Every structure is written in structure tokens, then in C-alpha cells.
Amino acid sequence: MSKIVNYFETVGRKRFLLMIIGNIILGMGVAIFRLSTMGNDPFNGMNMAVSAYIGISYPLYQVLVNIALFIFQIFAGRKLIGAGTIVNAVFLGYLVSFFYHLMLGIGQPHTIPARVVTVLAGVVVCSLGLSFYQRSNAGVAPYDALALIMDRKFTKISYFWCRIITDACCAVVCFLFGGIIGLGTLVSTFGLGPFVQFFDKTITMKILKETDNSRKEM
């Protein structure tokens, strides 16, 4: 119990709340990508494709995949584990499904321009959610931890390429199981970084009263 109390004292209420809000916004962003029917980020896209193929719900399948990745994270990247790890691993899939079905009730875009605009909206919303969730330093999701662990283990390969490798593997599996690989996949793989950085500097760091050099290491 004391360890839990110490953890929350270290992370801080503001960072913990920001992590929660960030995951909620991220779930909305992933749902917007899905609504566009132009592809999703590789990891969620893969889980959506495989879960549909084998006939179980996407949120449940995502939890099962995250449990497997979490076991690896315990041994290879324990310092990356925090409350954000559990929240993202367990609840993100359910948040995505909730927002997706909520948006379906409003209507789905059918024309190419409307779908492209939907993808762009997904970029903005996901980037804001990622900025809140990642900048809070309250724990890294099991999948996100993979590239960080690879970057530390294989020092000659930069984090950028480690992330490209993991995303590319997920994209291949997504395609093989009948998932959609499209504009949404492309922009979520290569286009989120600048937007996340923009939100870091204009919103998140101001909320946390951080400077570029004040971010804590997990």
C-alpha cells in the first residue's frame, strides 16, 4: 500500500489526471480513424483485423495482446511501467469501441473528401491525447515500450527505426488478416510526431509548467 501511495506522490495528481484524460482523448482519436475506413494506426489496426478474423471482440483481444507484451515489459523494461501502462493496456480498446459506436450513431463519412477530413481530425485528436498521455510520464503502454526497449538494447538502431520496425510488423499482420492499410495508417505512423510536439509545447508543458529540460525520466 505504501508503494502505491509513494507512486502517486512521485507522479503527482496533475500528471495522473492528465494521463487519464490523454487516454480518453486517444481512444476518441483512434475511433475517428476507424470511422474514416481509411486505415488505423498499425497496432490498433492489427488488433481490429485479427480479432474480427478469429471472432472475438477487439477490446478483449487487445487486452490479451497487451498482457503478453506486458509480461515482456516486466522483464525488459520495468522502469517504463506505471499507472498509464495499465490504463492504456486495459481500457483503451474499450474506449475506442465506445466512441466508435457513439460516432456511428451520428453518421459515417462516405465521400473521399469527407473521409480525408475525418482522418485529419483523427490526427489532431490522437496527437493531443498522445501529448497528454506520454508527457505525463505516468507509465508507458506495453506496445509503446517495445520500441523504447529495442532502442536501449540495440544502440546502433535509433528509436525512430525501432518504432518503424514494430509498426511495419503490425501493418503486415493487419494486411494478412484482411485489415485496412491506407491513408490513416500512413499518417498515424509518420505524421503524428510533429503534431504531438506542437501540443507538447503549446498546451501540455504549460499545464505541467515544464520546460524542455524539465521532463522526468521514468
pLDDT at 152: 86
**SS3 state of residue 38:** coil
For the whole prediction, is pTM greater than 0.85?
Answer: yes
Question: DSSP state, 141?
Answer: -
The answer as to whether 174 is a domain residue is yes
The answer as to whether 58 is a domain residue is yes
Q: Which residue's entry shows cell 489496426?
A: 45
The answer as to whether 1 is a domain residue is no
Question: DSSP state, 215?
Answer: P
Amino acid at 150: M
- Domain of 36 in residue numbering reads as 9-208
The answer as to whether 163 is a domain residue is yes
- More confident site: 5 or 205: 205
The answer as to whether 216 is a domain residue is no
Alpha-carbon distance values, 92 to 99, 103, 168, 178 (Å): 11, 16, 21, 22
The answer as to whether 119 is a domain residue is yes
Q: Indicate whether 125 pLDDT > 90.
A: yes
For residue range 45-71, list pLDDT tens digits in order. Answer: 999 999 999 999 999 999 999 999 999
Vertex 50: Cα angle to 46 and 52 (nearest 5): 120
The answer as to whether 217 is a domain residue is no
pLDDT at 9: 56
Count of domains forming the chain: 1
The answer as to whether 213 is a domain residue is no
By CB atoms closer than 10 A (0-12, 13-18, 19+), residue 62 is buried
Q: 89 phi and psi, to 5 degrees?
A: -65, -40
